[in-house]
Structure 1
Amino acid sequence: MNTHTNQVVMITGASKGLGRALALAFAKGGARLAICARGDEALQQVAAEIKQLGAEVVAIRGDAANQSDIERFVALVEAHYGHIDVLINNASIIGPSPIPYLLDYPEEDFAEVIRVNTIGPFLMTKRVLPGMLQRRKGSVINVTSEAGNTGYAGWGAYGISKFGIEGMTQTFADEVGEAGVRVNMVDPTEMNTQMHKLAVPDCDYELAEPEDVVDVFLYLASDESSTVNGQRFVASQFLEERGR
């Protein structure tokens, strides 16, 4: 039996990049998927790929930082599957490209990055947690960044939004850890994605592929990590420790 058979896994921003790679990896593991993204065409393409793998999927177009879209998405998923086992807050944006220094950063763009990257995961987690707490079981996995652990010039609101994710992960983890629910975060490291191209357009070094970093998410969604809470994982280090 696959590790994630019948597990209900919800992934935001699942139409491309890491979100798509995670959705397909969990589908191969036997999970039942719930995915959302703002672009419907690409989202439905991922849903079709999931079905080709023999997995069940609910795919809903929506903004994972919009309260009404979140309510609609989660309510439909709970009605369809009955519960949610795993929430992966993956949806995020980089902001203006090229990224301006903070001194020149437009207020409206700054607020939008924080809305999508930090407030969105807060609202999603807040909506999904009650069901997990009632069942005394569940895993929330937030996607962070090296720029969310160290402030770098030129990473603007994106890095600051990930600092918020790291603090929020630790706070949620401390609040719900004794109730059987765990909240952790993953720095997938720099990946070959459209977002990275916008952030580092002249990148001249090797990047990981999204498919290369999914193992740590699979681990954090599994019973193997049932006692792991409030921790920060770096995908490349996780693979090294596992001898892969």
Structure 2
Amino acid sequence: MTAPLAGRTVVITGAGQGLGRAYAHRVAADGATVVIADLNTEAGEHVAAEVTEKGGNARHHHLDVGDPASCTALAEYVDAEFDAVHGLVNNAAIFSTITMRPFWEIPVDEWDRLMAVNLRGPFLLTAALLPALRRAGDASVVNVASDAVWLGRSGYLHYTASKGGVTAMTYSMSHELGDDGIRVNAISPGPTYTEVPRGTVSAGQKAAMHAAQALHRDAEPEDIVGVVAFLLSRDSRWVTGQVLSVSGGLIHR
């Protein structure tokens, strides 16, 4: 059986750790060549080496998604290395390092940096990679939203606002890029636990989230990666403009 992503090139941002790392391993296992685009060069190169050791094809390229020049540099790199980009996962985001606080106490510079990465980043990079995505003929963009938007989670208003923007961006992008054969969808995870420390979640909060879910357990990367792989594959060729909640039944829309 042919691997579902064989012969395809997929760019994943923020793939040096956490869910991005898990996405990189999965799409490489499904046959894609993975470009691990991460601000942390050491972490990105480490994940590329992990994927390669398992028989996959991966390479790292430095990226600051909030910097237009850095997005342009990545686009120039993929143009030189590949015929086209078949998939883009806009995963990079600021979250685990956030200090939870009332919105009126959020420093303006923290708001601006988070928006630059979480919201402006997907806009900048998708635009920069658009020629390479168009050349694919059937490319897929997967944005990463969050079920925190629908829950109205307090303590990090800038994060929920940024992910609400990603959701709206997904709807509009899907219509603007449909004529190019480019599909644009988003996943909307709930709390998902990786190797990245989550000091902002107390035991009581975790128990409350378990109780609110239809599936009463922690979510792990393996619970999320298959949905991303599906959206990148031709199996989802008639799916676009959708935001898929991947949260064990935490919310119902």
Question: With structure 2 as the length reference, what TM-score do the two structures score?
Answer: 0.87
Q: Supply the distance in 2 between the matched residues of 1:237 and 1:175 (Cα, whole angstroms).
A: 31
Cα contact 2:45–2:59 (8 A) shared by 1: no
In 2 relative to 1, CA 212–145 (structure 1 residues): closer, same or farther, beyond 3 Å?
Answer: same
Q: Which moved more, 1:157-166 or 1:74-83?
A: 74-83
Q: 3-state DSSP class of the match of 1:204?
A: helix
Q: Which moved more, 1:118-127 or 1:205-214?
A: 205-214
**Which amino acid in 1 is paired with 2:24?**
A
1:47-196 matched pairs, under 5 angstroms: 47-94=48-95, 97-193=98-194
Do residues 222 (structure 1) and 233 (structure 2) align?
yes
Gaps of 5+ in 1: 239-244
Q: 3-state DSSP class of the match of 1:82?
A: coil
Q: Which residue of 1 aligns with 2:20?
A: 19
CA drift of 1:96 comes to: 6.0
CA drift of 1:194 comes to: 5.9
Cα contact 1:86–1:140 (8 A) shared by 2: yes
Cα contact 1:9–1:84 (8 A) shared by 2: yes
CA drift of 1:62 comes to: 2.3
Cα contact 1:94–1:195 (8 A) shared by 2: no
In 2 relative to 1, CA 109–201 (structure 1 residues): closer, same or farther, beyond 3 Å?
Answer: farther
**For this pair of structures, how many residues does the alignment match?**
238
CA drift of 1:155 comes to: 2.5
Q: 3-state DSSP class of the match of 1:197?
A: coil
Q: Which residue of 2 aligns with 1:233?
A: 244
**Which amino acid in 2 is paired with 1:56?**
N
CA drift of 1:130 comes to: 2.8
> Structure 1 residue runs of 4+, over 3 Å off?
193-196, 201-206
Q: Supply the distance in 2 between the matched residues of 1:199 and 1:225 (Cα, whole angstroms).
A: 35
**Which amino acid in 2 is paired with 1:229?**
T
**Which amino acid in 2 is paired with 1:6?**
G
Q: Supply the distance in 2 between the matched residues of 1:224 and 1:161 (Cα, whole angstroms).
A: 29
CA drift of 1:236 comes to: 4.5
Cα contact 2:12–2:24 (8 A) shared by 1: yes
Cα contact 1:22–1:211 (8 A) shared by 2: no
Q: Which moved more, 1:174-183 or 1:79-88?
A: 174-183
Question: With structure 1 as the length reference, what TM-score do the two structures score?
Answer: 0.90
Q: Supply the distance in 2 between the matched residues of 1:188 and 1:105 (Cα, whole angstroms).
A: 24
Cα contact 1:147–1:155 (8 A) shared by 2: no
Q: Supply the distance in 2 between the matched residues of 1:156 and 1:50 (Cα, whole angstroms).
A: 35
Q: Which residue of 1 aligns with 2:213?
A: none
Q: Which residue of 1 aligns with 2:219?
A: 208
CA deviation string 1:157-215 (max 9, x = no partner): 11110011001111111111233111000012211136671442444334211122101
Cα contact 1:190–1:196 (8 A) shared by 2: no
**Which amino acid in 2 is paired with 1:108?**
D
Q: Supply the distance in 1 between the matched residues of 2:16 and 2:31 (Cα, whole angstroms).
A: 19
Q: Supply the distance in 1 between the matched residues of 2:143 and 2:14 (Cα, whole angstroms).
A: 12
Q: Which residue of 2 aligns with 1:46?
A: 47
Gaps of 5+ in 2: 208-216
> RMSD of the alignment, in Å?
1.9
Q: 3-state DSSP class of the match of 1:124?
A: helix
Q: Supply the distance in 1 between the matched residues of 2:122 and 2:31 (Cα, whole angstroms).
A: 25
